[in-house]
Amino acid sequence: MNALKTPPPHLEACGISKRFGSVQALEDVSINVQPGSFQALLGENGAGKSTIVKCLMGFYHADSGEIRINGTPTRIASPQAARRLGLGMVFQHFTLIPSMTVAENLILARPNLPFVIDWKSETRQLADFLKQAPFQVDPHSRVSTLSAGQKQKVEILKELYLETRLLILDEPTSVLTRDEADEVLGFIHRLVKKGELSALLITHKFREVMAYCDEVTVLRRGRFVGGGKTASLDVSGMAEMMMGEARVRNEAVGTRSPAGRSVLRIEGLRARGDNGLEVLHGIDLTVRAGEIVGIAGVSGNGQRELVEVIAGQRGATGGRISVNDEDHRPTRAMLRNHKFCTLPEEPLKNAAVARMTVAENMAFGVFDQPPFQRAGFLLDRKAIARLGRDLIAKFSVHPPSPDAPIGELSGGNVQRAILARELSSGQVSVLVAANPVFGLDFKAVDFIHERLLQTRNQGVAVLLLSEDLDELLELADRVLVMSGGMIVHETTPEKADPAAIGRQMAGHHS
């Protein structure tokens, strides 16, 4: 591994512009990554962060502007060309093949692999490489058996194995616990300090920027809006640059009254996962009226299956769900009687029919009731269109066309449309929401959060599952931690210790 001695390249992107159809994704953006620096790229969704790094990595080609490597203007035609220059990228989603071992994944990533692989020499080289690697992973373990944190480490190991000198990380900690994130970023930080690596971190977590990065570049709507040394910036300043306006909590959410009697009760709930093994080992929880109960946890610890059981997408193998002490099963009649609403994650997949119109999707809860259904079988399409227009206006869905297929809306607007449907039935007594703001920009996040608080303040029992601990600490009245298919910890936001919750999430139960 003599190549570890080659210094990282000096990367400059000057005046990069890129247009997709009618959208100007980037306009005159410049980035300068000095050798051995750890730089952050901050911005909302759609700010152009991914576009610029994809230009650097050769996935896209800029319309204008210049990329310089060590001062030489360079055209990066393809990801392979970027790799030859020592540029590598870790994506938000994993690029490991789940059914293969760590060793197979690392070797498969190597360029110019011969047809017949000399496994003896490859394994020996790999063993040598892993010996001096900062974290230990068993090369023979199958990737599908690794935790998210371990997978992210393997992704980084893969980049080091490929002798990447400038590592671009696209929200690498979004699937990690706080401790895992610190371990991964701390490791990169050490390599940067040793001068062996430069790093460009795309993130929206100010904590990570402040703790690990030397410099920041902030983008908004495809333009450079600010930046500089982290030491000279503070969090509120960066947030203002990102959003362009200060965030004001809408006063219309009302005030919270004390939680009432228990409404939603889940007792000893068990279910099997996709692989046939039990993933929910007896979940017990209660949500009272006028209270948000948050469930924190790293994804893959049974949260998805829990919501699927609650929503009726997955059968339970044991246990009981009740609303106001009556048994609850997700039939249409019971959902109506119990005023039970669900906002599952990925609503386009789990709560909508992508090819049907926005109005039709909004009518899913009521289409079989008068006035939307007449004479017991005829749909009143006018009434459905009216409902669609109403809800679109009330929840500011954009574009405001009830006849567009819902699949053509952006993620945030699908989320709004489904939330509108769920809350439209008038009186709600239970709302279950899973990762309701995943992938949304700040404005949409604020909108959804306000609606959740408003709903709570109207006396609804809200169960909120999220992978974002900060979101839960901000919204929830009680926080439960889920790990390995069990509720392992309960706390309140006032008493919560994020580090302790992180340990619980990672499965270190005291």
Partner 1 sequence: MQSQPETLGLWGIAVALAGGAMRGSIPYMFVSLGECLTEKSGKINLGMEVILLMGAVTAFGVSDVTGSPWLGVLAAALVGMTLGALHAWLTQQPSVNDVAAGIAMIIFGSGLAFFFGKRFVAPMAPQLPLIDLGSWSSAGAIRSALRISPLFFIGIALAFALHWIFTRTSWGLKVRAAGDDPQAARALGINVNRVRFIAITIGGALAAIGGAHLTLYFPGIWSEGISGGQGLMAVALVIFAQWSPRRCLAAALLFGGAQALGPSLQSLGVNGYYHLFNASPYLLTLGVMIATCTPHRRLAGMPGALGRK
CB-based contacts of 485, cutoff 8 Å, min separation 6: 278, 279, 280, 281, 283, 301, 302, 305
Q: How far apart are CA 305 and CA 281, in angstroms?
A: 11
Contact between 329 and 505 under an 8 Å Cβ cutoff? The reply is: no
Q: Which stretch binds partner 1 (CB under 8 A): 101-109, 346-354, 453-461, 492-500?
A: 101-109
108 touching partner 1, by CB under 8 A: yes
d(CA 398, CA 410): 8
* CB 26 to partner 1: min, Å: 22
Q: How far apart are the first and last CA of the chain?
A: 41
**Residue 70 binds partner 1 (CB under 8 A):** no
Q: Is 277 in the site for partner 1 (CB under 8 A)?
A: yes
Using CB under 8 A as the binding rule, whether residue 348 contacts partner 1 is answered as no
Rounded Cα distance, 116 and 108, in Å: 12
Among 2, 5, 22, 114, interactor with partner 1 by CB under 8 A: 114
Pseudo-torsion of CA 253, 256, 262, 266, nearest 10°? Answer: 50
160 binds partner 1 (CB under 8 A): no
**353 lies in the binding site for partner 1 (CB under 8 A):** no
Of 360, 302, 324, nearest in space to 484 by CA: 302
Q: Applying CB under 8 A, does 276 fall inside the site for partner 1?
A: yes
Q: What minimum distance in Å lies between the beta carbon of 279 and partner 1?
A: 11
Supply the angle between the helices 178-193 and 498-505 in degrees, to the nearest 10. 100
Residues 31 to 50: which contact partner 1 by CB under 8 A?
A: none
Q: How many chain residues interact with partner 1 (CB under 8 A)? A: 29
Candidate residues 113, 127, 354, 393; the one interacting with partner 1 per rule CB under 8 A: 113
With both helix axes pointing from N to C terminus, report the angle between 119-131 and 148-161 in degrees, rounded to the nearest 10. Answer: 110
Region of 107-115, 185-193, 254-262, 300-308 interacting with partner 1 (CB under 8 A): 107-115
CA distance 457 to 289: 9
Which of the ranges 164-172, 186-194, 246-254, 269-277 carries the binding residues for partner 1, by CB under 8 A? 269-277
β-pairing, 461-466 with 478-483?
unpaired
100 forms part of the interface with partner 1 (CB under 8 A) = yes
Q: Which bin fits 309, alpha (ψ -120 to 50), beta or left (φ > 0)?
A: alpha
Stretch that binds partner 1, among 45-53, 102-110, 239-247, 466-474 (CB under 8 A): 102-110
DSSP letters, 435-474, are STTTT--HHHHHHHHHHHHHHHHTT-EEEEEES-HHHHHH
Q: Which of 15, 35, 46, 79 binds partner 1 (CB under 8 A)?
A: 79
| Binding flags for partner 1, 287-326, as an x/- string (CB under 8 A) | ----------------------------x-----------
Measured from the CB of residue 316, what is the shortest distance to partner 1 in angstroms? Answer: 12
Candidate segments 9-17, 112-120, 191-199, 281-289, binder of partner 1 by CB under 8 A: 112-120
Which of 98, 254, 260, 400 touches partner 1 by CB under 8 A? Answer: 98
Q: CA 212 to CA 230: how far, in whole Å?
A: 9
Q: Least distance in Å: CB of 83 to partner 1?
A: 8
Which amino acid appears at position 74 of this protein?
T
Output the smallest distance, CB 33 to partner 1, in A.
22
Beta strands at 461-466 and 291-296: parallel, antiparallel or unpaired:
parallel
Question: Considering the rule CB under 8 A, would residue 4 count as an interface residue with partner 1?
Answer: no
- Whether the CB-CB separation of 239 and 247 falls below 8 Å is answered with yes
Stretch that binds partner 1, among 36-44, 92-100, 171-179, 329-337 (CB under 8 A): 92-100
* Residue among 2, 22, 72, 99 that touches partner 1 (CB under 8 A): 99
Query: Cβ of residue 148: shortest distance to partner 1, in angstroms?
Result: 15
HSE (CB half, 13 Å, CA atoms) of 128? 8
136 counts as binding partner 1 under rule CB under 8 A: no
Span interacting with partner 1, options 273-281, 287-295, 336-344, 477-485, rule CB under 8 A: 273-281
273 sits near partner 1 (criterion: CB under 8 A): yes
CB of 47 to partner 1, least distance (A): 22
Q: Which is nearer to partner 1, 93 or 495 (CB)?
A: 93
Nearer to partner 1, 63 or 346 (CB): 346
Q: Exposed, middle or buried: residue 153 (CB in 10 Å: 0-12, 13-18, 19+)?
A: buried
| Spatial distance between the Cα atoms of 5 and 228, rounded to a whole number of angstroms | 29
CA 327 to chain centre: 33
Identity of the residue, 97 or 253, whose beta carbon is nearer to partner 1 in the bound complex:
97
> Interacting stretch for partner 1, rule CB under 8 A, among 108-116, 261-269, 304-312, 423-431?
108-116
- Is residue 354 within the footprint of partner 1 (CB under 8 A)? no
Q: Could you say whether residue 115 binds partner 1 (CB under 8 A)?
A: yes
116 binds partner 1 (CB under 8 A): yes
Specify the 3-state DSSP secondary structure of 127: helix
Quote the CA–CA distance of 350 and 398 in Å, as a whole number.
20
Which residue ranges make up the site for partner 1 (CB under 8 A)?
Answer: 79-80, 91, 93-100, 104, 107-109, 111, 113-117, 119, 272-277, 315
